[in-house]
């Protein structure tokens, strides 16, 4: 089973780091973020990757060529301006009639891939998205007459769930992607919701 890694965006939220490299190539402990991401998959038995490149994609292509590993990695040029929907569609067409994992090239997590896949298969829908609680932005401070009486992390138990970035996709997902210049998150995903064809795997570790 292959894992699609979306690595073609501009990385505007890390602009000071991504002026000369794609965001997944920003170093973390002397290795690119994307290497750490693939290591998460590889440690759980997934070593076949399709990397959707775009912005400064040549850097990723050269890095893949220089990488000494037993992993099977295909860097697929999906276009500089293509959005996430188009990148996923091109990867699904490249992979063919088989199920795949998919994730963003700049996000790490401790997801159990076997549990995610088993859940997806049992649900029997076109795609599964990992749902996580949003991180608390601020600590909760309480005070009385200028004295701090309590300082705790904000309780996120009632904050709802957000897209955690780890997916399982069946081949039919590409039928929900209308064009390359469309975000996966605001195009294909809502269409699958309308068809009752999208599952959510709640991850809270």
The Cα–Cα gap between 125 and 31 comes to 36
pLDDT in the model for residue 163: 94
Residue 37 is predicted with a pLDDT of 98
Give 185's pLDDT tier (boundaries 50, 70, 90).
very high
For the chain, what is the domain count?
1
> Rounded to whole angstroms, how far apart are CA atoms 203 and 23?
25
Query: Tell me: the pLDDT tens digits for 46-105?
Result: 999 999 999 999 999 999 999 999 999 999 999 999 999 999 999 999 999 999 999 999
- Predicted TM-score (pTM) of this structure: 0.89
- For residue 117, give the DSSP letter: H
Q: What is the pLDDT of residues 153-178, one digit of tens each?
A: 666 655 688 999 999 999 999 999 99
Q: What is the predicted pLDDT for the residue at 57?
A: 96
pLDDT grade, residue 132 (50/70/90)?
Answer: very high
Length of the chain: 205
CATH number at residue 77: 3.90.550.10
Q: 120-124 long-range contacts, Cβ below 8 Å, gap at least 24?
A: 120/168, 120/199, 120/201, 123/199
Of residues 133 and 25, more confidently modeled: 25
Q: Are strands 139-144 and 147-153 parallel, antiparallel or unpaired?
A: antiparallel
Q: Across the chain, what does the average pLDDT equal? A: 91
- Residues of the domain holding 159: 2-202
CB count, 10 Å around CB of 78? 26
**Spatial separation of the C-alpha atoms in residues 11 and 16, rounded to whole Å:** 10
pLDDT at 153: 65
Q: Cα 67 to the chain's mean position, in Å?
A: 22
Q: What are the CA-CA distances from residue 194 to residues 29, 161, 179, 190 (Å)?
A: 42, 19, 18, 6
């Amino acid at each position: 089973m292959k894992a699609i890694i979306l690595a073609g965006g501009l990385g505007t939220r890390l602009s000071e780091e991504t002026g000369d490299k794609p965001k997944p190539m920003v170093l973390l402990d002397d290795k690119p973020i994307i290497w750490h991401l693939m290591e998460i998959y590889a440690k759980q038995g997934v070593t076949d990757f399709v990397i959707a490149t775009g912005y400064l994609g040549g850097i990723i292509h050269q890095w893949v060529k220089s990488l000494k590993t037993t992993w099977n990695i295909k860097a697929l040029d999906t276009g500089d301006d293509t959005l996430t929907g188009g990148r996923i569609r091109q990867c699904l067409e490249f992979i063919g009639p088989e199920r795949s994992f998919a994730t963003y090239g700049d996000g790490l997590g401790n997801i159990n891939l076997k549990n995610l896949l088993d859940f997806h298969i049992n649900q029997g829908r076109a795609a599964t998205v990992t749902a996580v609680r949003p991180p608390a932005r601020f600590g909760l401070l309480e005070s009385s007459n200028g004295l701090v009486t309590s300082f705790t992390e904000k309780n996120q138990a009632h904050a709802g769930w957000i897209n955690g970035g780890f997916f399982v996709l069946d081949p039919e997902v590409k039928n929900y992607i209308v064009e390359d210049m469309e975000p996966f998150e605001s195009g294909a995903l809502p269409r699958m919701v309308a068809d009752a064809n999208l599952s959510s795997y709640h991850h809270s570790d």
